Amino acid sequence: MHKSASGSTLGPGGLDLTQAFFKPITNAAPPSPTKRHNKISVIGAGNVGMAIAQTILTQDLTDELVLVDTNADKLRGEMLDLQHAAAFLPRTKIHASSDSSVTAGSDLCIVTAGARQIPGESRLNLLQRNLSLFRAIIPPLVRYSPDTTLLIVSNPVDVLTYVAWKLSGFPSNRVIGSGTNLDSSRFRFLIADHLDVNAQDVQAYIVGEHGDSSVALWSSISIGGVPVLSFLENQQIAYEKETLENIHKSVIDSAYEVIRLKGYTSWAIGYSVANLARSILRDQRKIHPVSVLAKGFYGIDGEVFLSLPAQLGRGGILGVTNVHLNQEETQRLVDSAKTILEVQTQLGI
């Protein structure tokens, strides 16, 4: 499939009209070589990939957006649909192709492609199919964009981020999984809803696996700078641990509920990943709970990717935040790491 993008060849025989339409000013200097041109590639044009692409466009996060998918007709349709909205969006060049060469020079490659589970299929077999898929996806991205940062969204995200790291040969700071960034947003929403405050005033993290063994860091939750559990204890206000566990369970179950109701999740993960892209490309140095190489943190042994609060910037992962975990949280995090490692060892990579 040929890539397509807007251009200035509207004249007869493909004549470039730019020179005729605009008259250069006298003694003009060439554009500054320091001007930054951002390029983002989204691999996978399914519901999640397109929600991410659409959010990136509306938030004006890139100068050039590339879509890659094996379904050529759907891909071209998605590209045209976005291009036709040009009058309502910030100026962005949009390309689409089934050939990975179109991603060349990308600052950020977002991978959403993944095999869907067949009814009755084991998790391990699904992982093996995704491993084969990643063997076809990751090496070309690395070849065409050797300085890019890889942001993995495909599930199971922690294991596939590890796979992408191994296949890419990149330093670990340039391979990131979307991890529990969305889980933490759901967590903050539920806490804010319980206490009738704005979710942006809630500081709360879900760490560990993006899945059933995730860990809610209740000990470090604060609202408006006030540590919640410490405040309740100091004020001798009783609370039930079961209530806290139910909130965490709601976080875990929320994606399943959305899938049951509409068939898939898309908008929330779109906003979540665009939020990560902003922090990376604009060097925001914000803290996000994302899937990172966790070896050596909190007693975790072994090469495993799971979510920890990390600072993101132009260099990818700039560092992991030294968040205090109580003994129970630490043990649950170590157990979460073991759960992921058990799956990884079966992949043979």
Torsion of the alpha carbons at 261, 264, 267 and 268, rounded to the nearest 10: 80
Q: How far apart are the first and last CA of the chain?
A: 32
Interatomic CA distance for residues 275 and 30, integer angstroms: 33
Q: Provide the pLDDT for residue 224.
A: 87
Interatomic CA distance for residues 154 and 122, integer angstroms: 17
Phi-psi region of 323 (alpha: psi -120 to 50; beta: other; left: phi over 0): beta
State the catalytic residue, choosing from 2, 95, 210, 248: 210
Catalytic residue list contains 84? no
Residues contacting 7, CB < 8 A, separation 6+: none
The model carries a pTM of: 0.88
Pure H helices in the chain: 18-21, 47-58, 72-83, 123-144, 157-168, 181-195, 228-234, 241-262, 267-281, 327-345
Written as one letter, the residue type at 327 is Q
Q: Tell me: is residue 47 an annotated ligand-binding position.
A: yes
Q: Tell me: is residue 155 an annotated ligand-binding position.
A: yes
Interatomic CA distance for residues 4 and 106, integer angstroms: 17
Q: Tell me: is residue 275 an annotated ligand-binding position.
A: no
Question: Which DSSP string do the residues of 156-222 spell out, in sequence order?
Answer: SHHHHHHHHHHHH---GGGEEE-TTHHHHHHHHHHHHHHHTS-GGGEE--EEB-SSTT-EE-GGG-E
Residues contacting 232, CB < 8 A, separation 6+: 238, 239
Q: Tell me: is residue 153 an annotated ligand-binding position.
A: yes
Give the number of other Cβ atoms within 10 Å of residue 296's Cβ. 10
Q: Mind listing the pLDDT tens digit of every residue in the chain (349 residues)? A: 444 555 555 555 556 666 666 667 766 667 666 557 899 999 999 999 999 999 999 999 999 999 999 999 999 999 999 999 999 999 999 999 999 999 999 999 999 998 876 767 666 678 888 999 999 999 999 999 999 999 999 988 999 999 999 999 999 999 999 999 999 999 999 989 988 999 999 999 999 999 888 999 988 888 988 887 777 777 767 666 777 788 888 888 888 888 889 988 899 999 999 999 999 999 999 999 999 999 999 999 889 999 999 999 999 999 999 898 999 999 999 999 999 998 888 887 7
Q: 203 forms bridges with which residues in the sheet?
A: 222
Question: What does the block give as tokens for 1?
Answer: 């499939």
Residues contacting 284, CB < 8 A, separation 6+: 278, 312, 313
Q: Tell me: is residue 46 an annotated ligand-binding position.
A: yes
Interatomic CA distance for residues 217 and 194, integer angstroms: 17
Q: Tell me: is residue 45 an annotated ligand-binding position.
A: yes
Q: Provide the pLDDT for residue 347.
A: 83
Interatomic CA distance for residues 277 and 281, integer angstroms: 6
Q: Provide the pLDDT for residue 78.
A: 96
Q: Tell me: is residue 202 an annotated ligand-binding position.
A: no
Q: Tell me: is residue 69 an annotated ligand-binding position.
A: yes
Interatomic CA distance for residues 278 and 195, integer angstroms: 29
> What one-character DSSP code corresponds to residue 147?
T
